């Protein structure tokens, strides 16, 4: 029996039980993406699993990290007997050090079996694994089939590229960015230092798109909250049958201490290698992509953008979200082509967001939960500035 609520959207962070470590060591990003996208992580045995009135309560060994699982998706396995409907993906509605709960349509009762639980993966596969290199591809049958290539042989950055199709560990057809544009590929930041010190991070994903959001400065200073938001996957395309509507956001050169170039919240895409696989016409190779918000400044970070004034609004106190569009050809004007919209992510065309929302805060609007991230790259927790962007962690995105 499927969960009575949608579980297509997954989110992950560094303080989930058993979460992979991101640091300035070769292979750390590859391992992180493998765990979040393909295998899941944090497998543990349950002490008990009981259903009462449409709510399943799963008891675990006490762990201070268990409460961080609120609103995430876990994978329950090993239930036998009359309550096997509890097996599968479940979205956590309550989390304490010793319990997690989720909604279910299963009958009241106590589950039997050797029951385990782990953080569920987003539903991708790893292709052509090499030494700290690999490709990732969606398992969704509706996917357009592109691959994300990761070369994580470096320390503070990894190289990335989208391919229409991969044919080997470091080879494929239809690259974006092209080899002529960048022999190494684009860059995703991991850490501001080549060390084993752990960095904080978030990943937000469904079966066809992912956002990787590293807090690269947190390896040396715990007060650092700034993070980029890199993207690979399939936006919601406006043209029916747009077979090459896959986008990768990355930096054009090694980001160093800033993860902003190539971030979805860096609207003017300065220093970015952000590419469509091909034009909407289906001809040629990779072309540049641009990401302005529907409402707001195309050159100002989300949450620092005063287009709609200062938050909270003196009229209704409202928080306003804007979709982020995807253009081809130019950021705006006659040369630009409106091609799609990024799924699950929102720009806030208001300023002063950092005074009200810390990274990791959740906002509930119209029955959906939205997760706040710092939309700029190097800000400390107590620094004026450092915008905020939001991700939908309820889903579905499509």
Tell me the pLDDT tens digit for each residue of 295-348.
998 888 899 899 999 999 999 999 999 999 999 999 889 999 999 999 999 999
Q: Are 309 and 297 in contact (CB under 8 A)?
A: no
**pLDDT of 1 over the 60 cut:** no
66-80, 123-137, 378-392: lowest mean pLDDT where? 378-392
Least confident span in 48-57, 121-130, 350-359: 350-359
Q: Rounded to a whole number, what is the distance in angstroms from the first to the last CA of the chain? A: 22
Q: Tell me the C-alpha distance between 247 and 225, whole Å.
A: 26
How far apart, in Å, are the Cα atoms of 189 and each of 134, 230, 306? 17, 9, 28
- Indicate whether 250 pLDDT > 80: yes
Smallest Cα–Cα separation from 394: which of 56, 34, 43, 73? 73
Which are the contacts of 335, defined by CB distance < 8 A and separation ≥ 6?
Answer: 329
* pLDDT at site 299: 83
**How confident is the model over 176-198, as pLDDT tens digits?**
999 999 999 999 999 988 999 99
For residue 378, what pLDDT band results from cuts at 50, 70 and 90? low
Q: What is the pLDDT of residue 2?
A: 73
- b/e 179-194 (16+ beta carbons within 10 angstroms → b): eebbeebbbbbbbbbb
* Distance between CA atoms of residues 281 and 357, nearest Å: 42
Residue 385 vs residue 308, higher pLDDT: 308
**If you write DSSP's letter for every residue of 107-165 in order, what string do you get?**
PSEE-EEEEEEEEPP-SEEEES--SSEEEEEE--TTS---EEEEE--SSSEEEEEEEEE
- For residues 182 and 211, give the distance between their C-alpha atoms in angstroms, rounded to a whole number: 22
For residue 74, list its beta bridge partners.
90, 119
Mean pLDDT confidence for 106-122: 97
CA–CA gap between residue 150 and residue 134 (Å, rounded): 6
What is the reported pTM? 0.96
User: Which pLDDT value is given to residue 292?
Assistant: 92
pLDDT of residue 228: 81
Mean pLDDT of 366-383: 77
- Gap between the Cα atoms of 364 and 161, Å rounded: 35
Is 267's pLDDT higher than 90?
Answer: no
Q: How far is CA 385 from CA 272, 300, 351, 380, 388, in A?
A: 22, 12, 9, 9, 9
H-helix segments, 136-289: none
Q: Which helix (H) or strand (E) holds 29?
A: helix 28-33
Contacts of 317 (CB under 8 A, 6+ apart): none
Question: Predicted confidence band at 11 (pLDDT cuts at 50, 70, 90)?
Answer: very high
In DSSP terms, which residues pair with 117 in a beta bridge?
44, 76
Mean pLDDT of 359-370: 94
């Amino acid at each position: 029996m499927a969960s009575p609520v949608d579980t297509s959207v997954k989110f992950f962070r560094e303080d989930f039980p058993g979460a992979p470590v991101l640091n300035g060591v070769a292979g750390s990003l590859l391992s992180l993406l493998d765990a979040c996208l393909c295998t899941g992580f944090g497998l543990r045995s349950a002490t008990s699993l009981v259903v009462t009135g449409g709510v399943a309560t799963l008891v675990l060994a006490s762990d201070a990290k268990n409460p961080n699982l609120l609103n995430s998706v876990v994978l329950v396995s090993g239930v036998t007997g009359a309550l096997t409907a509890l097996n599968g993906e479940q979205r956590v509605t309550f989390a304490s050090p010793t319990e997690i709960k989720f909604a279910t349509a299963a009958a009241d009762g106590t589950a039997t079996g050797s029951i385990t639980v782990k953080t569920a993966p987003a539903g991708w596969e790893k292709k052509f694994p090499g030494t700290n290199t690999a490709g990732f591809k969606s398992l969704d049958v509706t996917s357009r089939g592109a691959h994300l290539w990761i070369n994580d042989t470096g320390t503070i950055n990894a190289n990335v590229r989208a391919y229409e199709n991969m044919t080997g560990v470091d080879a494929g057809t239809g690259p974006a960015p092209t080899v002529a544009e960048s022999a190494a590929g684009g860059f995703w930041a991991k850490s501001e230092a080549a060390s084993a010190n752990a960095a904080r991070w978030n990943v937000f994903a469904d079966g066809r798109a992912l956002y990787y959001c590293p807090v690269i400065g947190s390896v040396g200073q715990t007060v650092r909250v700034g993070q980029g938001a890199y993207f690979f996957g399939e936006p919601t395309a406006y043209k029916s049958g747009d077979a090459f509507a896959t986008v990768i956001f990355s930096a054009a050169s090694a980001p160093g201490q800033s993860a902003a170039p190539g971030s979805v919240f860096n609207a003017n895409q300065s220093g970015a290698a952000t590419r469509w696989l091909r034009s909407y016409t289906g001809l040629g190779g990779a072309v540049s992509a641009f990401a302005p918000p529907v409402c707001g400044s195309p050159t100002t970070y989300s949450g620092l953008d005063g287009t709609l004034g200062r938050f909270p609004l003196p009229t209704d106190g409202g928080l306003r979200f804007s979709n982020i569009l995807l253009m081809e050809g130019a950021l705006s004007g006659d040369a630009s082509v409106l091609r799609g919209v990024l799924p699950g992510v929102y720009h806030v065309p208001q300023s002063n967001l950092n005074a009200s929302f810390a990274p990791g805060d959740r906002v509930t609007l119209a029955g959906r939960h939205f997760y706040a991230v710092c939309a700029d790259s190097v800000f400390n927790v107590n620094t004026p500035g450092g915008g905020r962007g939001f991700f939908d962690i309820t889903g579905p995105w499509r």
